[in-house]
Amino acid sequence: MIQLDLTGQVAVVTGGSSGIGLATAELFLQAGACVAICGRDGDRLARAERELRERHPQAQLLAARCDVLDANDVAAFAGAVEQRFGRADMLVNNAGQGRVSTFADTTDEAWREELDLKYFSIIRPTRAFLPMLRSTAKQGQNASIVCVNSLLALQPEPHMVATSSARAGVLSLIKSLAVELAPEHIRVNSILIGIVESGQWRRRYENDAAAQAAGQSWQQWTGELARKKHIPLGRFGLPEEAAQALFYLATSLSSYTTGSHIDVSGGVARHV
């Protein structure tokens, strides 16, 4: 990847305590940016902060516990970023995990939870940080919003009906935001991920009694799943690979790109 000097710029990453969010925060720190991360789990967030500071002793880093579905939490996080760094240039909205359910077994409550999570994990942080992004854009500097979305937005799966529906709506939301904010020179883009290695998949592997009894390694287990799921590249994606796409869309490397998305699915997409 082309290495940019992001000294003086501020990147905000929600869900930054693990997986894709943590890998993205690390890329920004490597490029010299000030970075603010948040997460709901205080212990996991503290571990992430400790790891980042160990690898980047000179890092300008802020870590704050925040539930992005709580308007007060998000407002407090934005206030802490402004107080610490005085600005925000790049916002990465890193939404939560998927829900396995069919139409027949998805309750009204489950529908509401899924739609609330997928929409408001983008809406609330975007609202909170938009004044700072506008200030950055008015100075003629790169201002951007990037959202982590899923290939389910374009390629729904019946066993993930609620998540697929919500992801499709988020794709439309991102396009609408891009059109609305383009005159203010704030770019809005997303990535569409397929299966990416995560703590959730690690737990499934550890809880697979047959795999453990057979002494199946993580690489063997995920490789077998990738073949069953017809992933052309034959493996799961890495958080770092999704992070690189987010970094590209967030920075001036993609200065003429808005309202777009990058497919990070290992070739599993069936659409043209």
Q: Which residues have CB under 8 Å from 220's CB, separation 6+?
A: none
Indicate if the alpha-carbon torsion angle 85, 87, 90, 91 is positive or negative: positive
Here the CATH number for the domain that contains residue 253 is 3.40.50.720
Of 212, 207, 97, 194, which Cα lies nearest the Cα of 151? Answer: 194
Residue 46's alpha-carbon distances to 29, 42, 59, 243, 249, in angstroms, are 17, 6, 15, 21, 27
Give the per-residue pLDDT at 199.
84
pLDDT band at 3 (very low <50, low <70, confident <90, very high): confident
Domain contains 223? no
What is the rounded average pLDDT of the residues 231-246?
Answer: 97
**pLDDT of 149 above 90:** yes
The residue whose two tokens read 């600005």 is 87
The Cβ-side half-sphere exposure at 47, using a 13 Å CA radius, reads 9
Domain contains 110? yes
Domain contains 225? no
- 86-114 pLDDT, tens digit each: 999 999 999 777 889 999 999 999 999 99
Domain contains 83? yes
Of 248, 218, 196, which Cα lies nearest the Cα of 92? Answer: 248
Give the per-residue pLDDT at 96.
75
- Compute the residue count for the chain: 272
Domain contains 201? no
**pLDDT of 1 above 60:** no
d(CA 234, CA 194): 12
- 26-37 pLDDT, tens digit each: 999 999 999 999
Element (H, E) at 170: helix 161-181
d(CA 120, CA 117): 6
Secondary structure in 3-state letters for 21-35: HHHHHHHHHHCCCEE
Domain contains 167? yes
Q: Which residues have CB under 8 Å from 44's CB, separation 6+?
A: 17, 18
- Percent of the chain scored above 90 by pLDDT? 92
Domain contains 210? no
Domain contains 62? yes
- 183-230 pLDDT, tens digit each: 999 999 999 999 999 888 899 999 999 989 999 999 999 999 999 999
- 44-94 pLDDT, tens digit each: 999 999 999 999 999 999 999 999 999 999 999 999 999 999 999 999 999
**pLDDT of 2 above 80:** no
- Percent of the chain scored above 70 by pLDDT? 99
Give the per-residue pLDDT at 20.
97
Query: How many domains does one find in the chain?
Result: 1
Domain that residue 190 falls in: 10-196+237-264
Give the per-residue pLDDT at 132.
98
Q: Which residues have CB under 8 Å from 194's CB, separation 6+?
A: 150, 151, 231, 237, 264, 265, 266, 268, 269
The mean predicted confidence, pLDDT, of the chain is: 95
- Give φ, ψ of 129 to 5 degrees: -95, -10
What is the rounded average pLDDT of the residues 141-147?
Answer: 98
Collapsed DSSP state (helix, strand, coil) of residue 249: helix
Q: Which residues have CB under 8 Å from 83's CB, separation 6+?
A: none
